[in-house]
Amino acid sequence: MIVRSLVKKLIHPFLKLGYNLYYLKPRPYRYHDIEVLVHPKVFSPKFTISTKILLDYIDALTLKNISFLELGCGSGIISLLAASKGAMVTASDINNFALEALKKTSQKNNLPLSIVYSDLFDEITQEHFDYIIINPPYYPRKPKNEKEHAWFCGENFEYFYKLFNQLPNYIHKNIVLMILSEDCNISHIKKIASENGLTMRCIFEKTVVKEKNFIFSIEIS
């Protein structure tokens, strides 16, 4: 474990440089026959693991005519996949670059979405969704710009405090799924959930490049 984190620390600056050079301009990302153009200031599904795990998980679900919210949609590839499977989809984010790009890709792929600017649930007026999907920022640092909101949840996990405070109003008999990696402080995030009367139950686990990723179902305790 110590060796692994040392290796990660050593190669991290080079990976970051390569990533930044690659994303000097918008780049395409494809899942099945859906293609999005990822803006340089938007979370990229290409060099991360979480989006692909969620895509594969969601691809196996029956979604015809169900209502689906992707909270923090980034490139929107998950929302577009859900729409392609017949779901009525709302895609929200606080990153305007993401939302503007998604409006175009939604039209280009002929997959209509309801695209909403919202800080978590602040502007989400619909109260019931059959599925809510969240791939959250989880490193404890204050985000300095729109892109960093994809990674940093605030110095004191503010993102999770607000999320778990709002979420009980949106949990009925529906399914709320959130992906996390072993790289983050899962026990602290679980503690914040439990302070808000919520339980995080692991329903799926996948290891990619020696990093464990978990999909949690979030339920009322």
**Binding region for ligand SAM (CB under 6 A):** 43, 45, 50-51, 54, 70, 72-75, 78, 92-95, 98, 119-120, 135, 137, 149-150, 159
Query: In 28-48, which positions are buried (b, 16+ CB within 10 angstroms) versus exposed (e)?
Result: ebebeebebbbbebbbbbbeb
Q: How far is the CB of 70 from ligand SAM (least distance, A)?
A: 6
Strand segments, DSSP code E, in 32-184 are 34-38, 67-71, 88-93, 114-117, 131-134, 175-181
Q: Which is nearer to ligand SAM, 2 or 117 (CB)?
A: 117
For the bound state, the minimum distance from the C-beta of residue 6 to ligand SAM, rounded and expressed in Å, comes to 25
Q: Give whichever of 78 and 88 is closer to ligand SAM, judged by the CB atom.
A: 78
> In terms of CB distance, is 7 or 16 closer to ligand SAM?
16
Half-sphere exposure of 178 (CA within 13 A, CB side): 20
Q: Minimum distance between the CB of residue 142 and ligand SAM, rounded to whole angstroms?
A: 12
Least distance in angstroms from the C-beta of 180 to ligand SAM: 10
3-state class percentages of the chain: helix first, strand second, coil last, to nearest 5? 35, 25, 40
Three-state secondary-structure class, residue 22: helix
Contact 71, 105 (CB under 8 A): no
Q: What ranges in 23-86 are assigned the alpha helix state H?
A: 50-59, 77-84
Q: Smaller CB distance to ligand SAM: residue 74 or 131? A: 74
Residue closer to ligand SAM, measured from CB, 135 or 213: 135
Q: Which residue is nearest to ligand SAM (CB)?
A: 72
As measured in angstroms, the least distance from the Cβ of 194 to ligand SAM is: 21
**DSSP letter, residue 170:** G
CB of 62 to ligand SAM, least distance (A): 21
88 vs 93 by CB, closer to ligand SAM: 93
Residue environment code for 173-183, b if the CB has 16+ CB neighbours within 10 A, otherwise e: eebbbbbbbee
